[in-house]
Amino acid sequence: MTPARTFASLLAMLPPLLAMAMVAKLNREQRGVVISAIAVTVLASLLFGALQLSAGSSGDWRPYGNDNLGFLNGFQANRNAQADVLLIGLVAGAVTLRERRDRIGRMLTNWLLGGLVLSIVLGCVLTGSRAGIVLIPIALAAVVGLHFARRIGLRGALGGLAGSIGALIVGYIALRGAGPVS
């Protein structure tokens, strides 16, 4: 229907595909650095979003205009993209903590993971993105699977996946007729 937009969409897919190909060539330690950088960038975006919310209706700290006042946008142009970024950062943060568990200790790692989960889930809810909120259980299932895989085993991981799917269905039913989250 619109060849120019179709071509633009195709071109927009090139940077992530190239990044994926470049990261695939890295060794484990180098990939860990990339994942850590993603996690740190997402935390910075979350903090920037907190500044946006603290500014209230003044519109300060909003580089893309005042379209989504009252919602957390972070570095993104809209709240849906911010919710996606936060959920990706949640998984990246869990991987980063898992890789450093031996260096910083199991107890501290668990506390840091709990703080990460709480802050990012709260940030995702504050975006007001219904799709982002519904995807929270899937990201949490990935975090549990990545962080606690050795302790819970395959049976526990499958149970967590089933629970996440159940929560996703319940969330869909609950939000099916709802208007925008505010």
For residues 39 and 50, the answer to whether their CB atoms sit within 8 Å is no
CA distances from 172 to 64, 71, 85, 132 (A): 30, 21, 21, 12
Given this model, what pLDDT does residue 15 score?
Answer: 93
What value does the mean pLDDT take over residues 100-104? 87
The pTM of the full predicted model, rounded to 2 decimals, is 0.78
Q: How far is it, in rounded angstroms, from Cα 28 to Cα 144? A: 21
109-118: pLDDT as tens digits: 889 988 999 9
Query: Which stretch of DSSP H or E encloses residue 151?
Result: helix 130-175
